[in-house]
Chains A and B, each alone.
Chain A
Amino acid sequence: MSEIIERNRPVLSKKLDKFFTGLADAFRFVKRFFQEVWFPPYEFKEILRQCYEIGYRSLPLISLTGFIVGIVFTNQSRPSLSEFGATSWLPALISIAIIRAMGPLVTALIAAGKVGSSIGAEIGSMKVTEQIDAMEVSAINPFKYLVVTRTIATTLMIPVLVLYTDFVALMGSFINVNQNELVSLSTFFVQVFEAISFLDVFSSLIKSLVFGFTIGIVGCYKGYNSSNGTEGVGKAANASVVMSMFLIFIEELLALQIVNAIRYA
C-alpha cells in the first residue's frame, strides 16, 4: 500500500521531500561541528598542516587574481570619474570597493574553487575507499580529524588571505594610478586610509570568517556524504564549489544589509 502511495506521489512533492531532508542533514552536520569543536583531542598538528595547505598554497593564485583585479578595476573606473574631473578620487573609490566587497568576495570565490573542491574530493575519495570507516573502527573520530580540522583551517585562513588580497589589489591599483595620475605611494595610501573606516575593515574580516567557515563545512559535508565510487567523488567536488559559491553570494548580500544598517543607524 505504502509503495503504491510512494509511486503515485507528485514529482514536486518528492523533490521538496528530498530538499528538506538534505537541509535537515546539513543542519545536523553543522550542529555536530559546533558540538565537537570544543572538546579534545584538538588535532593541532593537522590544523596547522591544513592551514599551510589552504593558506600558503593558495598564495600564487590569490596574488595573481588580486593584482589583476586592482589594475582592471582602476582602469575601468577612470573614464567615469574623468568625466567629472574626479580622477583624484580613484584611490578612495578603489579602496572602498576592494576592502568592503571585492577583496573578500574574490578571495572567497577563488578559495571555493580551489580549496572547497579539493576538500570535497579528498574527503569524498576517503569515504568511497573506506578510509573513513578504517578510522572509525580504530576508535578514531573521523569527524574530528577530517571535518573539524579543515573547517577551522579555512575559517582562520580566509581572513588572512583576504587581507593579503586587499593589499595586493591595492598595489595593482597603485601601479595603474601611479602611471596615469603620477601619484606617489604615500599619497595613494594616505587617500586609501582616509576613505576607509574601522567598520569597513572589521566587517570585511567578520564576513571573511563566515566565508571561510562556509567553504570548509560545505566541502567537508559534500565529501563526507559522497557515494557511488569515483563518480560520487567528482560530484562531491563539483557540488562543494557550486554550493559554496551560492552561499557566499547570499552571505555577501546579508552582510551588506547588516553593515549598512549599522553604518547609517
Chain B
Amino acid sequence: MPSDYTNKIVEIRGVRKSFDDNHVLRGVDLDLYERENLVVLGKSGSGKSVLIKLMVGLLRQDEGTINIFGQDTSKLSLKELNKLRLKIGFAFQASALYDSMTVRENMEFPLVRNVKNLTRKEIDKKVEGLLDSVGLPKTINQMPAELSGGQKKRIGIARTLILEPEIMLYDEPTAGLDPTTCIDINNLINQVREEYNTSSIVITHDLTCAKVTGDRMAVLIEGQFQAIGSFEEVFAQAKDPKVKSFYDYNFIQ
C-alpha cells in the first residue's frame, strides 16, 4: 500500500446521472491517486457500476466532470476517448468473454486491433505470459463455455491487462463466486497492482474483498458518498447509521 497519495489521476466532481425518474448519482465527488486501490462500496442498484461506466464513456453523465489524466472525458472526441480507453482496463462483472472465440482469440482480439505490426511470436508470448500470471495457461484453446466462473473472471482480468492499462476498473470481481475463489480473485487484484503498477477502482458490496484489496473505501448510499477513508476509518468509527448498517449486514450475515 502506498504511504502517501500525491499524484491524482482521476478527479470526479459533482457527477449526476438519472435514468428517467430514477436519480442514481446525485452529485458525486471522488479522487483516485496513482498506485492506489480504491474500493467503492454500496448496495445493489446504488449506482456503483454506473460510476465506472461513466468513466470509460459507456454512459454520459447529466452533470459534473470526470477528469482522467487531466482530460475531461465529456469533452473528448471519440478518437481521443478511445486513446484514453486504452489506458483503462475494465473487468466486467460477468467477465464479458466473447462466446464465439477461444481464450487465445479473446486475449488477442484487443491487442491485434490496437497495436500494429506485432509478429505472431510476440502476440503468443504476451498471451501465454498473461495466462501464466493468472494461473490458467492450460485454458488457452478452450471456449468460454468450458470455463468455471472463477476462471472466466481471471481470464477477463488477463484480457484487460494485455493492453497494459494504467487504471483498472473491477466491476463486482467476486460476485457469484465461492469463498475460496473469492480469495484467489482478491489476491489477483493485489498481484495486478504489484506487477503492473496499476491504480484501481474496485466496485463491490463484499466487505471482505474491500478489506483485502482496498487502500481506501468510499461508501455510496442514495446516490452520494457517505464516507470515504480507510476501512477502519469508515467502519470502525462509523457514526452514520446507514454506513453502520451496511457493515453489520455484511459481517453478521
Contacts and interface: CB of A to CB of B under 8 A. Distances in A.
A252 B147 CA distance: 47
Interface residues of B, number: 24
A196 interface: no
Contacts of A129: 94, 96, 99
Given A125-B99, A131-B98, A131-B99, A138 B113 contact: yes
Nearest to B89: A137
Contacts of B94: 129-130
A41 B112 CA distance: 12
B2 to A, nearest CB: 26
A139 B85 contact: yes
B75 interface: no
Q: Which of A129, A136, A137 has the most CB of B within 10 A?
A: A137
A136 B82 CA distance: 8
Contacts of B15: none
Interface in B94-109: 94, 96-100, 109
B134 interface: no
Interface in B23-44: none
B96 A140 contact: no
Nearest to A130: B96
B92 A130 contact: yes
B64 interface: no
Contacts of B100: 122
B99 A126 contact: yes
Interface in A118-142: 122, 125-126, 129-131, 133-134, 136-140
A139 B96 contact: no
Interface in A192-246: none
Contacts of B97: 131
Nearest to B86: A139
A130 B83 CA distance: 21
Contacts of B58: 133, 136-137
Given A133-B92, A134-B92, A140 B109 contact: yes
Contact of A138 (B53, B57, B93, B114): B114
B163 interface: yes
B158 interface: no
Contacts of B114: 138-140
Nearest to B82: A139
Contacts of B176: none
A114 B141 CA distance: 29
A140 B56 contact: no
Contacts of B96: 129-131, 133-134
B90 interface: yes
A131 B144 CA distance: 12
Nearest to A145: B113
A140 B58 CA distance: 13
Contacts of B160: 138
A133 B55 CA distance: 13
B131 interface: no
A138 B108 CA distance: 12
Interface of B: 53, 56-58, 82-83, 85-86, 88, 90, 92-94, 96-100, 109-110, 113-114, 160, 163
Given A138-B86, A138-B114, 7 more contacts: A130-B93, A130-B96, A136-B57, A137-B88, A138-B110, A139-B113, A140-B113
17 contacts: A41-B113, A125-B99, A129-B96, A129-B99, A130-B93, A130-B94, A131-B97, A133-B53, A136-B56, A137-B58, A137-B90, A138-B85, A138-B109, A138-B110, A140-B109, A140-B110, A140-B113
Which 5 pairs, one residue from A and one from B, show the smallest C-beta to C-beta distance? A138-B110, A139-B82, A134-B96, A130-B96, A137-B90
